[in-house]
Structure 1
């Protein structure tokens, strides 16, 4: 009996401890929420102050422009008026002189000929009528065209936009960053795509379009780079996708081909297949096929491992795409395709049906140049104009997005994920790959 009471007392204490821990966690969450609220208010104040400062500067610039234009008109008008007044005064003097000469000629004619025939040639010569200068043209100010210029300028004036972003993602953390520039690169890097191989050797594969190279950063346990490899190509490589822990497929648009590469102790070409279009983005699918997209001839196609055409997903939805440049498979086995003209990511089924658009018009991007998807249904979109990498949910229809690279990158161009879900973001300004957890 005593032991049962003791056992119940122990269970009660355990339940009490569990409840206490839950209450403590709840209190901590509440404290965190209060801190975020304070940070939100501060952010609001900072953004509001920034907007006011921006518009104040814009008003100052507009005022200066107004003063400059008015001063220009006044100065130009003053010069033109002075020139006209000088010409008019000179002409008046000349007219008075010619009138006196004319009257003297008439008097001489009356005295000598008594009203005989007039010697017109003599009059013209004496009055110097052939020396008359043409009257100057009065300048004309096209007020209407100036109004149109001003209206057009104001219409095109986009100072800033305001966007509320829900804090629906964990805070991202910069783990490390490594240089992607090699000592013998002839040009500045332009990384188009990234794939991460996670076998015994950890390898980050990148396509450097500007230097016409496929680059690899290798290391063990994620420590990069312990080794660097490169494979030079005749034309710039674009898309890259993982096939296995030691093999990738790379698109070369200008040559209309897909190159299969192995990365073991070095990097070498295993085989090359020809394609019918200049494909840029590429994604390997679970059934052993590829999904590829083409900017030159806007389309999304399915190819087999030999590069043979199997299906055109945009055949019945041609209006969907204007410039598809990057593609990846999603967690639900759909496809995410970036369109650099529409500036969004389109989620489509394997039959080509448009499922949703990310982000929607309510939360639009300045650009959409690359995309990657993780196993949890998150879609990562690279906006290199706004220096963002936006994370959205594949399934949720809401336009709410989170910027997982805010303050960490400057000009992102490509994004990739490893098996652990860590992000690898190429930055064109710093010429680095940033490894980020979220």
Structure 2
């Protein structure tokens, strides 16, 4: 009996602890709700202040224009009134003088008429008459359409609902990706990371027609820089193994397999039928590739042979696919430069969802990468942001992982530890970021 009571008391104690924790969690939720309400009111107040400032600026502009018109019109009218008054005075004087000359003519004989007409002209100064001034004209062209268009495009502020457990990011390291012998500024299209303790950050430099490698060990990089020159610019990258990557070369319609560790070299090349740009390795040993030139997403085997068109039944879903990645659930994330979002499709080509949501639409979507935790990272090089969203269809929450760390991001990749590698097209750096 005693043992039974002890067991019962033990279970009761466990339940009591669970109930207490639940109560504390509920109280914390209530506190968060109160804080949420305060934040909402604060945001509303700040928005009202912002628009009030805009209204004040518009009012000042209105008064300034009206005052300008009044001052300019007053100046023009004063000059015109002065001319009219002077002309009226001169006309009265001429009339009086003309009458005196007519009286003189009547007192003299007709033989002096010709002489008197010349006298009239000279006395009345008819040859010195000034031209009448032109009336001022005010251009009253309306700019309503321009103003409406301006207000429509005006980004006064943006509002996002962000979960309070969104991870914060931290800049770990940055390295210059411009090599000493690069003939022109870099244009990094894709980036991936291979290796274990000795790892290599691989990038495709489209402008310099090179595949570049930054080799590091532990937490530091680079300890060594390597490059592989190509005839045309490489674009997409995907990891094949810890020692090998595959890169697309759109202009040559081919995929090259590159050995990375020790000595960079092309191990083999396969031809394709399209100018593929983005590429992603699949678990079954095939590739998912996308083509911007003729918008499509295809499945190829390791020999570059076409196997399946994922956009055949959903061709309207793509306009300019440029980058792609495999999600944690095995679906495909495709960045579309025209729709400015990432489209999540399954292996049958069915469109599951778009990221970010329509309400959070980006200014651009030039690159995408996915981690093992269900996060999708989208590069917006116009807004200088790297937006992290959840692959989950029901989630619309997003946050900026770059958070002002990168100026013009162009490509993004992840290593096995979940670290982000983001290239900056303006300062020509690759940033290593934790989140």
Q: How does the TM-score come out when normalised to structure 2?
A: 0.79
- Retained in 2: the 8 A contact 1:382–1:413? yes
Q: Tell me the distance in 2 between the aligned counterparts of 1:417 and 1:197.
A: 9
Q: Tell me the distance in 1 between the aligned counterparts of 2:76 and 2:275.
A: 61
Q: In structure 2, what is the equivalent of residue 435 of structure 1?
A: 433
Q: In structure 2, what is the equivalent of residue 229 of structure 1?
A: 226
Mark the CA change 1:146 to 1:358 in structure 2 (over 3 Å): closer, same or farther.
closer
Q: Which moved more, 1:184-193 or 1:377-386?
A: 184-193
Q: Is 1:241–2:238 an aligned residue pair?
A: yes
Q: Tell me the distance in 2 between the aligned counterparts of 1:362 and 1:38.
A: 26
Q: In structure 1, what is the equivalent of residue 335 of structure 2?
A: 338
Cα deviation digits, residues 347-375 of structure 1 (max 9, x gap): 22344332222222233333322211234
Q: In structure 2, what is the equivalent of residue 176 of structure 1?
A: 172
Q: Is 1:54–2:55 an aligned residue pair?
A: no
- Retained in 1: the 8 A contact 2:337–2:365? yes
Aligned length, in residue pairs: 432
Q: What RMSD, in angstroms, separates the aligned Cα atoms of the two structures?
A: 4.1
Secondary structure of 2:83's counterpart equals helix
Offset at residue 145 of structure 1 (A)? 1.2
Q: Tell me the distance in 1 between the aligned counterparts of 2:208 and 2:19.
A: 57
Cα deviation digits, residues 238-267 of structure 1 (max 9, x gap): 321112222222234455544332211132
Q: Which moved more, 1:33-42 or 1:357-366?
A: 33-42
- Retained in 2: the 8 A contact 1:298–1:324? yes
Q: Is 1:96–2:92 an aligned residue pair?
A: yes
- Retained in 2: the 8 A contact 1:413–1:427? yes
Mark the CA change 1:390 to 1:14 in structure 2 (over 3 Å): closer, same or farther.
farther
- Retained in 1: the 8 A contact 2:244–2:259? yes
- Retained in 1: the 8 A contact 2:233–2:249? yes
Q: Tell me the distance in 1 between the aligned counterparts of 2:263 and 2:31.
A: 50
Q: In structure 2, what is the equivalent of residue 394 of structure 1?
A: 391
After TM superposition, the structure 1 = structure 2 runs for residues 312-323 of structure 1, keeping only pairs within 5 Å, are 312-323=309-320
- Retained in 1: the 8 A contact 2:236–2:247? yes
Secondary structure of 1:433's counterpart equals strand
- Retained in 1: the 8 A contact 2:270–2:303? yes
Structure 1 runs not aligned, ≥5 long: none
- Retained in 2: the 8 A contact 1:180–1:433? no
Structure 2 runs not aligned, ≥5 long: none
Q: Tell me the distance in 2 between the aligned counterparts of 1:372 and 1:310.
A: 24
Cα deviation digits, residues 22-44 of structure 1 (max 9, x gap): 56865775687577557646654
Secondary structure of 2:388's counterpart equals strand
Q: In structure 2, what is the equivalent of residue 206 of structure 1?
A: 203
Q: Tell me the distance in 2 between the aligned counterparts of 1:426 and 1:171.
A: 21
Q: Tell me the distance in 2 between the aligned counterparts of 1:25 and 1:272.
A: 60
Mark the CA change 1:392 to 1:183 in structure 2 (over 3 Å): closer, same or farther.
closer
Q: Tell me the distance in 1 between the aligned counterparts of 2:380 and 2:99.
A: 86
Cα deviation digits, residues 366-392 of structure 1 (max 9, x gap): 332221123444322223344443333
Q: Tell me the distance in 1 between the aligned counterparts of 2:159 and 2:121.
A: 79
Secondary structure of 1:145's counterpart equals coil
Mark the CA change 1:254 to 1:123 in structure 2 (over 3 Å): closer, same or farther.
farther
Offset at residue 179 of structure 1 (A)? 1.4
Offset at residue 203 of structure 1 (A)? 1.7
Secondary structure of 2:222's counterpart equals coil
Q: 2:345 aligns with which of 345, 348, 355?
A: 348
Q: In structure 2, what is the equivalent of residue 69 of structure 1?
A: 65
- Retained in 1: the 8 A contact 2:191–2:412? yes
- Retained in 2: the 8 A contact 1:252–1:258? yes
Mark the CA change 1:305 to 1:151 in structure 2 (over 3 Å): closer, same or farther.
same
Q: Tell me the distance in 1 between the aligned counterparts of 2:18 and 2:417.
A: 29
Mark the CA change 1:361 to 1:101 in structure 2 (over 3 Å): closer, same or farther.
same
Q: 1:138 aligns with which of 127, 135, 139?
A: 135
After TM superposition, the structure 1 = structure 2 runs for residues 159-174 of structure 1, keeping only pairs within 5 Å, are 159-167=156-164, 171-174=167-170
- Retained in 1: the 8 A contact 2:366–2:381? yes
Offset at residue 20 of structure 1 (A)? 7.4
- Retained in 2: the 8 A contact 1:202–1:222? no
Secondary structure of 2:65's counterpart equals helix
- Retained in 1: the 8 A contact 2:371–2:414? yes
Cα deviation digits, residues 249-289 of structure 1 (max 9, x gap): 22344555443322111323334455555433222233444
Q: Tell me the distance in 2 between the aligned counterparts of 1:404 and 1:152.
A: 31
- Retained in 2: the 8 A contact 1:109–1:118? no
